């Protein structure tokens, strides 16, 4: 519920005025400034007691004192339990991103390995996102690279297919992976269903941490083949054992006493933090990732770690154990909340000795080294931003630079790309792609494409952040192009009343050499920077990143268009029915020519849908 107070009250006096309306219930409170922006979200076992601590005029850290002084109103929401309050608090922090809370800024999903279960010859593949497909999931892995390395080795050991079901059903000859012994060729009958199923069981056992049993089994088979003078089979089994050993050696740390845990270590220094997370599953190290939550100078380790855990596991399943570098304030509460989420016991440990302590020490060392590298990069980035501001006559170092580029082939599959950079380098979660929609555009009209992209961008900004107080507006626009592009973009900026944003066109010089770029601004003569100026190299990196992103987006769009079939447009035909039709007829063209009776004979295609498909192709024809 929200409480109203006299407008004249702020800070301690305002907080004191709320106490008479609060009781000892658990709940969540929000502190807001004069513009109703959320400054802080907190939880409490006892709301009245917690809020009263802010009503004291002294005894606060600098950060908390500033927060109290800016508070112009508060909001409260009671919960049945403190565990509910904890879950609600972390959810609101992620949603509202309050200025004074510890905030986890990078919260991407992690990839898994999926062994499918809806096919006689299961597929093994990388999977990210919701676990909707039937099968066995193994993960999380720290990165796509960690998954790809493991999958590559698993292909050598178990030779399971990674092709799609549609590809599997349409093959008449074994593919290259079979030729190089990365697949057993089930698509063309090179292995029986029973033998393939046995290999799937072995792969699942390995991913569940039972690799020693598999090595012993393969070694016994190799000896048996050798004794029977089946030397080719013995050599193939030897290669599989070698590949299995290589997987284990490349995983680095493989703990003896920890089968399922996340190792979470924090390093704090000069108001910055790095949290290093190692994923231990099935007794194997499945990679590590570092995170840089937003913190302040006077925040202590327990508060940072507790906030990190709450936000990190808000959208992820926790493992059975969390092994931490520092104790957190409400470990029992966090255990209860995570156990509720997982549906089984989750244990939080802060080990002092033994293998678990060694694992934490290793993660802490990684966190310390990662933060040192990031702080060094940030110092360099700060100098470059200051130099950029000076070179372009800005009011100060830009905090948000947006760089735009277009990509197309003779006007087809045209896309625009926007990349964003700031004090922490490239802000990849802010990148945006724009599918060029202008029907009236001449193919290859770069000016028209840039106009469309910027028009859509400014419309979105004016809608999402009309007061320019959410940090979404750029301090500098970089456009790939010369005077013509700059003029086209400036017209759009004038139209939307945002011509106060500095904008620069980056064009190659007359001989188009890298390093002889010219810079164009509205109403001024073009100018250049010294050949060896670090700011010039910085701008080149920004432009190259925008070009890379636009090209990659264009290629993905072109590949999707090339892979599209007429079946994509048939009402009622989704991915599953599309697979069934392609498996039955072999191609989309064959489906379009099929008789109604043949369409009705396909598994999963009802009589009504068969008529819809038949009418779709024959009406169009």
Closest listed residue to residue 287, CA positions, set 146, 148, 390 = 146
82 and 225, same structural domain? no
183 and 129, same structural domain? yes
Instruction: Report phi then psi at 494, rounded to 5.
Output: -65, -40
572 and 516, same structural domain? no
Cα distances from 124 to residues 144, 173, 577, in angstroms, run 15, 20, 21
553 and 411, same structural domain? yes
Q: What is the CATH number of the domain that holds 30?
A: 3.40.1440.10
pLDDT at 620: 46
**For 526-575, what is each residue's pLDDT tens digit?**
888 888 889 999 999 998 898 888 888 767 766 666 555 677 778 788 87
Per this entry, what is the length of the chain?
621
Report the Cα 481 to chain-centroid distance in Å.
Answer: 31
Assign 3-class secondary structure to 37-62. CEEEEEEECCHHHHHHHHHCCCCCCH
As to burial, measured by CB atoms within 10 angstroms (0-12 exposed, 13-18 middle, 19+ buried), residue 421 is buried
Q: Which of 1-5, 32-36, 172-176, 315-319 has the lowest mean pLDDT?
A: 1-5
Classify residue 516: in a domain, yes or no.
Answer: yes
308 and 294, same structural domain? yes
Classify residue 102: in a domain, yes or no.
Answer: no
Instruction: Report phi then psi at 315, rounded to 5.
Output: -120, 15
**For 398-420, what is each residue's pLDDT tens digit?**
999 999 988 755 445 678 889 99
Q: What is the CATH number of the domain that holds 602?
A: 1.10.150.20
Classify residue 379: in a domain, yes or no.
Answer: no
Task: In whole angstroms, give the CA distance from residue 132 to residue 165.
Answer: 17
Across the range 302-317, mean pLDDT stands at: 92
Classify residue 467: in a domain, yes or no.
Answer: yes
Task: In whole angstroms, give the CA distance from residue 538 to residue 430.
Answer: 19
pLDDT at 130: 83
- pLDDT at residue 358 tops 90: yes
- pLDDT at residue 492 tops 50: yes
Report the Cα 141 to chain-centroid distance in Å.
Answer: 13
Q: Which of 561, 582, 605 is the last residue of a domain?
A: 561
- pLDDT at residue 232 tops 90: no
Give the total number of structural domains in the chain. Answer: 5
pLDDT at 4: 46
Closest listed residue to residue 41, CA positions, set 33, 32, 50 = 32
pLDDT at 144: 85
Contact between residue 57 and residue 77 where contact means Cβ atoms under 8 Å apart = no
280 and 184, same structural domain? no
Task: In whole angstroms, give the CA distance from residue 300 to residue 329.
Answer: 11
Most confident of the ranges 205-219, 246-260, 459-473, 547-561: 459-473
Note every long-range contact of 431-440, with CB atoms under 8 Å and residues 24 or more positions apart, other chains counting: 431/549, 432/457, 433/549, 433/550, 433/553, 435/557, 436/406, 436/408
Across the range 585-614, mean pLDDT stands at: 86
Task: Tell me the β-bridge partners of 116.
Answer: 135
Q: Beta 261-269 vs 321-324: how paired, if at all?
A: parallel
Q: 322 in helix, strand or coil?
A: strand
Q: Which of 250, 280, 307 is the last residue of a domain?
A: 250
pLDDT at 314: 87
pLDDT at 246: 66
**For 92-135, what is each residue's pLDDT tens digit?**
998 899 999 999 877 678 899 999 998 999 999 999 888 888 99
286 and 367, same structural domain? yes
Classify residue 391: in a domain, yes or no.
Answer: no
Classify residue 5: in a domain, yes or no.
Answer: no
Closest listed residue to residue 535, CA positions, set 509, 517, 510, 511 = 517
Cis bond leading into 140, ω under 30°? Answer: yes
Q: Which pLDDT band, with edges at 50, 70 and 90, does 346 fall under? A: very high
- pLDDT at residue 436 tops 90: no
Given the structure tokens 């409480």, which residue do they identify? 3
348 and 283, same structural domain? yes
Across the range 187-203, mean pLDDT stands at: 91
Classify residue 271: in a domain, yes or no.
Answer: yes
Task: Tell me the β-bridge partners of 518.
Answer: 507
Selected residue with higher pLDDT from 326 and 20: 326
Task: Tell me the β-bridge partners of 333.
Answer: none
The secondary structure of residue 137, as a DSSP letter, is E
Across the range 440-444, mean pLDDT stands at: 58
Task: In whole angstroms, give the CA distance from residue 115 to residue 124.
Answer: 5
Cα distances from 411 to residues 82, 103, 303, 414, 437, in angstroms, run 58, 42, 53, 6, 11
Q: 23 in helix, strand or coil?
A: coil
Task: In whole angstroms, give the CA distance from residue 41 to residue 398.
Answer: 29
270 and 240, same structural domain? no
Q: Beta 73-78 vs 135-138: how paired, if at all?
A: unpaired
579 and 431, same structural domain? no
Q: What is the CATH number of the domain that holds 406?
A: 3.30.420.340
Q: Give the residue numbers spanning the domain of 444.
A: 401-561
576 and 532, same structural domain? no
% of the chain with per-residue pLDDT over 90 = 39
Task: In whole angstroms, give the CA distance from residue 3 to residue 22.
Answer: 10
Q: Which of 70, 96, 122 is the last residue of a domain?
A: 96
268 and 209, same structural domain? no
Task: In whole angstroms, give the CA distance from residue 191 to residue 189.
Answer: 5
Task: In whole angstroms, give the CA distance from residue 504 to residue 596.
Answer: 60
pLDDT at 62: 87
Task: In whole angstroms, give the CA distance from residue 78 to residue 22.
Answer: 10
Classify residue 360: in a domain, yes or no.
Answer: yes
DSSP string over 421-448: EETTEE-GGG-EEEE---TTSPTT-HHH
pLDDT at 354: 92
Task: Tell me the β-bridge partners of 15.
Answer: none
Tokens of 153: 């080795």
């Amino acid at each position: 519920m929200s409480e109203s107070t006299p407008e004249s009250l702020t800070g301690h006096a305002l907080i004191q005025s709320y106490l008479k309306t609060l009781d000892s219930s658990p709940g969540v409170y929000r502190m807001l400034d004069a513009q109703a922006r959320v400054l802080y979200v907190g939880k409490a076992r006892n709301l009245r007691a917690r809020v009263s601590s802010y009503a004291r005029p002294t005894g606060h850290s600098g950060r908390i004192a500033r927060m109290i002084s800016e508070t112009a109103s508060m909001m409260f929401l009671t919960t049945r339990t403190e565990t509910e309050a904890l879950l609600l608090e972390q959810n609101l922090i992620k949603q509202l991103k309050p200025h004074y809370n510890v905030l986890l800024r990078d919260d991407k999903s992690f990839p898994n390995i999926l062994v499918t279960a809806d096919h006689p010859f299961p597929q093994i593949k990388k999977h990210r996102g919701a676990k909707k497909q039937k099968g066995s999931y193994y993960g999380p892995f720290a990165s796509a690279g960690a998954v790809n390395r493991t999958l590559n080795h698993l292909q050598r050991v178990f030779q399971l297919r990674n092709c799609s079901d549609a590809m599997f059903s349409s093959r008449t000859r074994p593919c290259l992976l079979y030729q190089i012994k990365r697949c057993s060729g089930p698509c063309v009958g090179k292995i029986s269903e029973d033998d393939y199923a046995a290999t799937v069981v072995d792969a699942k056992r390995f991913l569940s941490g039972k690799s020693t049993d598999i090595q012993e089994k393969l070694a016994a088979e190799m000896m048996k083949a050798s004794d029977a003078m089946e030397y080719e089979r013995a050599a193939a089994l030897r290669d599989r054992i070698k590949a299995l050993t290589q997987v284990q050696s490349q995983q680095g740390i493989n703990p003896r006493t920890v089968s399922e845990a996340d190792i979470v270590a924090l390093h704090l220094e000069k108001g910055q933090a790095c949290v290093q997370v190692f994923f231990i599953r099935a007794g194997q190290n499945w990679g590590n990732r570092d995170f840089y939550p937003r913190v302040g100078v006077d925040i202590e380790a327990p508060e940072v770690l507790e906030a990190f855990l709450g936000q990190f596991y808000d959208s992820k399943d926790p493992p059975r154990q969390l092994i931490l570098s520092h104790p957190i304030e409400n470990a029992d509460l966090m255990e209860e909340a995570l156990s509720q989420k997982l549906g089984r016991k989750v244990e939080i440990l802060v080990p002092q000795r033994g293998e678990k302590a060694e694992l934490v020490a290793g993660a802490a060392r990684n966190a310390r080294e990662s933060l040192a590298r990031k702080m060094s990069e940030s110092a360099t980035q700060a100098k470059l931003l200051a130099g950029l501001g000076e070179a372009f006559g800005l009011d100060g170092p830009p905090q948000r630079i947006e760089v735009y580029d277009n990509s197309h082939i003779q006007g087809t599959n045209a896309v625009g790309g926007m990349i964003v950079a700031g004090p922490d380098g490239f802000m990849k979660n802010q990148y945006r792609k724009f599918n060029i929609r202008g029907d009236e555009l001449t193919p290859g009209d770069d000016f028209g494409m840039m106009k469309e992209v910027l028009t859509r961008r400014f419309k979105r900004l004016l809608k999402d952040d009309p007061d320019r107080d959410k940090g979404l507006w750029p301090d500098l626009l970089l456009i790939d192009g010369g005077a013509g592009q700059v003029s086209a973009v400036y017209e759009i900026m004038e139209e939307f009343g945002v011509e106060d944003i500095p904008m620069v066109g980056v064009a190659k010089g007359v001989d188009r050499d890298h390093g002889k770029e010219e810079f164009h601004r509205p109403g001024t003569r073009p100018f250049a920077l010294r050949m060896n100026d670090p700011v010039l190299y910085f701008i080149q990196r920004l432009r190259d990143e925008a070009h890379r992103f636009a090209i990659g987006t264009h290629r993905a769009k072109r590949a999707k268009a090339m892979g599209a079939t007429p079946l994509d447009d048939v009402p009622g035909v989704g991915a599953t029915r599309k697979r069934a039709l392609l498996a039955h007829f072999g191609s989309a063209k064959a489906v379009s020519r099929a008789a109604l009776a043949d369409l009705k004979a396909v598994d999963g295609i009802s009589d009504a849908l068969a008529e819809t498909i038949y009418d779709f192709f024959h009406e169009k024809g």
